[in-house]
Amino acid sequence: MEINATSQQMDMAEESLGQRFGEIFETLKAISFKGTGNTAANAGVELDAVVDMTENAANTILDAAGHITSIVGKKDNWATEESREQALDAINAHTEEIFMACSFQDITGQRIRKTLENIKTIEDRLGQALDKLGIQVDHTTSERIQAENYATSQDDIDALFSESKNK
């Protein structure tokens, strides 16, 4: 009977441990780079989408500014009243493109805020699952790593990338 009771306790402990690890793996799926970004908490895909949107907006802005510069630089565009009107209409159209492209900031800001909320939720859920397993996490280490990886300028960002390449 004692062996049977011990066996049952082991089965319950194993099942509980399996559930805890299942919770951890479910939480880790939320930071995946797979999918379309339509899932509830897919931080990797969301951040990837923000990068794409930012790149597209920057390209649109640079293209429009380049077109404006070429229009302004052509002397033929200012020779007659008709050519001036056409040049000004084209400049206005390209300026509108720039304004429209700048709207990415609002959308990406919302996505980044949502992603940060999801990451905080993931962190909390992982912490709870690890606590249930009796594993204590040293938060001072992660805070130190965050402080070391905080970049305030392009030089800081370049230094971070060169550090990671050298490792």
What is the tens place of the pLDDT at every residue in 103-131?
888 888 888 888 888 888 878 877 777 77
Domain 2-136 has CATH 1.10.287: yes
Return the exposure string of 52-87: e unless at least 16 CB atoms fall within 10 Å of the residue's CB, then b.
ebeeebeebbeebeeebeebeeeeebeeeeeeeeeb
Identify the CA nearest to 91 among candidates 74, 108, 109: 74
Q: pTM for this one? A: 0.56
Angstrom CA distances, 3 to 32, 38, 60, 111, stand at: 43, 50, 72, 55
Residue 30's pLDDT band, with cuts at 50, 70 and 90, is low
Q: List the chain domain ranges.
A: 2-136, 138-167
Between 105 and 150, the higher pLDDT residue: 105
3-class SS of residue 62: helix
Arithmetic mean of pLDDT, 11-36: 64
Q: Which of 9-18, 20-29, 111-120 shows the lowest mean pLDDT across its residues?
A: 9-18
- Residue 108 CA to residue 130 CA, distance in Å, equals 32
Residue 98's pLDDT band, with cuts at 50, 70 and 90, is very high
| 8 Å CB contact between 23 and 122 | no
